[in-house]
Amino acid sequence: MNEENTPFNEKSKTSMQSEQQKEALLDVTTIPIVKNGGDEKETSVLDEQWAAMRQDWQAQPVPKTDINVLLKQTKRRTLWAKTFLGLNVLFTIAVFIAFLIGLYDGEYGTPMNTYLGIASFGTAIFVYYEIKIRLQTWRQCCDSPDKAVDNAILACQSSIKYMILNKLSCIPFAITGNWFLVVMAEENDKSPLKGLLFINILLIVVYVVADKLHKKRKKEYQRLMSLK
């Protein structure tokens, strides 16, 4: 990294020092709570109590973190999140290219082309929502904590939409998947039973998981809205 772009440099240290100078003017230990008819004695007791509380709070023991392990974990989590998103985008592009090739060359046949067409359209919608949710989460970390609840509501709304999409997509995928398997089995003179069983069980699992997450997000959404 370029030395000039280093985030933690002398300038930021100077900034911290000037903040400390301001702190001297606005020391929280001397904030009066309630001055009852100029009762200075009471204020002084409250100040002492507050100072004691602050001392206790700052003396709290904390577990020591192995920073190298933490760094590794942090890098791994960031890498996984980016990898999954990248793979999803690549998969969508690959399915779309395969559909275009099939459409213009006519090599795969109608059932395969139809299936690829629906799949490329469906995965594009999924990737759009995934990118939207991830960007919202990443943007949120530097926003004002006062907006944290509003941001969490937005993230929750996107997540709910994503879950609804997951559940609804099971219907067209069930229709096209079953149709595709039957047609392919007929073309190859094979029984479609195993394939049908597999795809339908898979879709049921996807639906149940999406439904569970949908209910969880709805509960979170209701709780967030009650805070507004």
Partner 1 sequence: MSFEAVFIQWIKDYEKLIRHLIIGFEAKPALQDELYQDITLNIWRALPKFRQDASVKTFVARIAHNILATHVAKSVRTIKTDRDIDSIVDTDNEKASAEATPYQALTQQQRQQRLAQAIRKLTLEQQQVITLALEGMSYQEIAEILSITTNLVGVRLQRAKAALTKLLEAL
Minimum CB separation of residue 165 from partner 1 in Å reads: 21
d(CA 95, CA 110): 16
Residue type, 45: V
Scan residues 152-191 and list those touching partner 1 (CB under 8 A): 152, 156
Does 57 interact with partner 1 (rule: CB under 8 A)?
yes
Written as six digits, the tokens of 206 are 């996807």
Stretch that binds partner 1, among 53-61, 93-101, 195-203, 206-214 (CB under 8 A): 53-61
- The three-class DSSP label of residue 1 is coil
List 3, 40, 105, 189, residue binding partner 1 (CB under 8 A): 3
Does 69 interact with partner 1 (rule: CB under 8 A)?
no
List 39, 70, 84, 86, residue binding partner 1 (CB under 8 A): 70
Does 9 interact with partner 1 (rule: CB under 8 A)?
yes
Does 44 interact with partner 1 (rule: CB under 8 A)?
no
CA distance from start to end of the chain: 43
d(CA 75, CA 69): 10
Minimum CB separation of residue 58 from partner 1 in Å reads: 7
Shorter beta-carbon distance to partner 1: residue 104 or 141: 141
Residue type, 7: P
Shorter beta-carbon distance to partner 1: residue 41 or 141: 141
Minimum CB separation of residue 64 from partner 1 in Å reads: 8
CA distances from 16 to 3, 24, 28, 127 (A): 20, 13, 17, 42
Stretch that binds partner 1, among 61-69, 163-171, 176-184, 203-211 (CB under 8 A): 61-69
Tokens 């709780």 belong to 223
Stretch that binds partner 1, among 50-58, 90-98, 180-188, 200-208 (CB under 8 A): 50-58
Shorter beta-carbon distance to partner 1: residue 3 or 105: 3
Cα angle for residues 87, 92, 96 (degrees, 5° grid): 145
d(CA 142, CA 147): 10
Give the DSSP letter string of 65-129: P-HHHHHHHHHHHHHHHHHHHHHHHHHHHHHHHHHHHHHHH--S-HHHHHHHHHHHHHHHHHHHH
Binding site for partner 1 (CB under 8 A): 1, 3, 6-9, 11-12, 15-16, 19, 22-23, 25-28, 31, 33-34, 46, 49-50, 52-54, 56-60, 62-65, 67, 70-71, 73-75, 77-78, 138, 140-149, 151-152, 156, 219-220, 223-224, 227
